[in-house]
Amino acid sequence: MAPSDTHVHHPRDPANRAADVAAMPEVPARLPMPRSAVARGISPAQWRVLVETTFPSAKSPEAVEMAFDYCKVRGLDVFKKPVHIVPMWSSAKNGYVETVWPGINEIQITAARTGAWAGMDPPRWGPPVTRTFTGSRKVKDRWEQASVELTFPEWCEVTVYRIVAGQPRAFCEPVYWLEAYSTSGGKNSELPTDMWVKRPRGQIQKVAKAASLRAAFPEEGEYTAEEMEGKEIEVGGTVVAAVPAAPPVTAPLVEAPSRWTRDAVDQFERDLTERLAAATDLDGLDKLWRDGANASIREIGGVDKEAQQRLISRFSRKKNEILHAQERAGAEAGEGAGDPGDDPEPLPERPRTVEVPVADDGSFAWGMFFDRMLDVAARVPSRAWGEAFLAMHKVQLGQLGQVRDEIGTYGGKPLTGVTAAARIRGALANRMDAVDPPHAPAQAAE
């Protein structure tokens, strides 16, 4: 039989393998690639990596493009995932939207690029706290009620160092776990997200690190994805596209706010009044605030803003009473000045935030804030303590500096917010120079 002229297809032939691959139908990417992505210089292969590997949870092409643009502007490699796409609840849209936030690594990269970052200390942890959380979570597209018992550190702090005037300066922002953790099921559920359940120490360490980096590098700082997950959109972030809202659920998401009925709020206010009356010092008042009053007042604000303002005002008035009592006691003890026991009570080892009091009409009582800040400034124990305290109040001092109206008097003269902010900074600087004089630059050898 004569040899056949028919060509036999050998799949192992390299040329044939290439032809087979070319003939295979292309599997579309998880999210369609829009024309705007091509205009950004993204190739189909890169788009597939972005939507399937880098951002596998993204719900819309717009979110991926915004993450790409953010990284391009900041000079970051988007494929290393320096940012995260975080779904957040938007009251304005009554649904979830996708937002873009930097990760903790991006914050560290930005700090390192300044050339002024001098490292950080290991984290310091507060005492362990065990608590049971209840709420709802989404499991396979269904909302289910759940509870979890979790042990976590009460607080965490990480000290970050920045080179200022040739010297490393410490910046530290303590972060409390209950104020920072992310919730699963929206603002009306207290159940932590899976990541905060699996890594209660690791997540709060990231948040504490980010907070201190923002204090040290305020010109570069931004909130991180670890901090914004599970939060409601208020400020910051880049809203890119709406995600379908969660379906109506029964127990937690509906019932949680309703526990603050009119009677419940009234009873809480009566109980709080009694506990405030029993508080005799600022430490006791701070403990009352941290041990649940803060969280309850925040929840009440979701159903009754006026009640929330009344409760906050009660705290402010009590603080003012305690401070005035301490001032009177100090004035009476002044008659015996010179005794070691007459020295004012030392400040705590770690700086604490001086909150801006709220007046009965809901406005900020900047005059009281000014008095308290000057009181602390006069007792700053060290330069590192003072710098950390100043960094903690950067936002408050910035807001105070925008107040052009009179907030009170000082030295018998009218005091505006602009002048008050400058006096606070000056008092802190003078005190730090007194307790820890800056080192004079070494003279060059002749």
Distance CA 297, CA 358 (A): 14
Nearest in space to 174 (alpha carbons), one of 138, 207, 217 = 207
Distance CA 205, CA 155 (A): 9
Q: What is the pLDDT of residues 149-167, one digit of tens each?
A: 999 999 999 999 988 878 8
Q: What is the pLDDT of residues 307-366, one digit of tens each?
A: 776 777 677 677 667 766 665 665 555 444 444 444 456 778 888 888 877 665 556 778
User: Residue ranges of the domains in the chain?
Assistant: 30-81, 85-247, 259-331, 352-437
407 CB contacts (<8 Å, ≥6 apart)?
366, 367, 370, 400, 415, 416, 417, 420
CA angle 196, 201, 206 (to 5 degrees): 85
Query: Does position 53 have pLDDT exceeding 80, yes or no?
Result: yes
3-state secondary structure of 26: coil
Nearest in space to 245 (alpha carbons), one of 100, 59, 97 = 97
Under 8 Å between Cβ of 134 and 190: yes
What is the reported pLDDT for 344? Answer: 55
Q: What is the pLDDT of residues 245-295, one digit of tens each?
A: 333 332 232 333 347 788 888 888 888 888 888 888 777 777 787 677 777
Distance CA 389, CA 409 (A): 24
Nearest in space to 235 (alpha carbons), one of 92, 421, 76 = 92
Per-residue burial over 283-304, b if 16 or more Cβ lie within 10 Å, else e, is eebbebbeeebbebbebbbebe
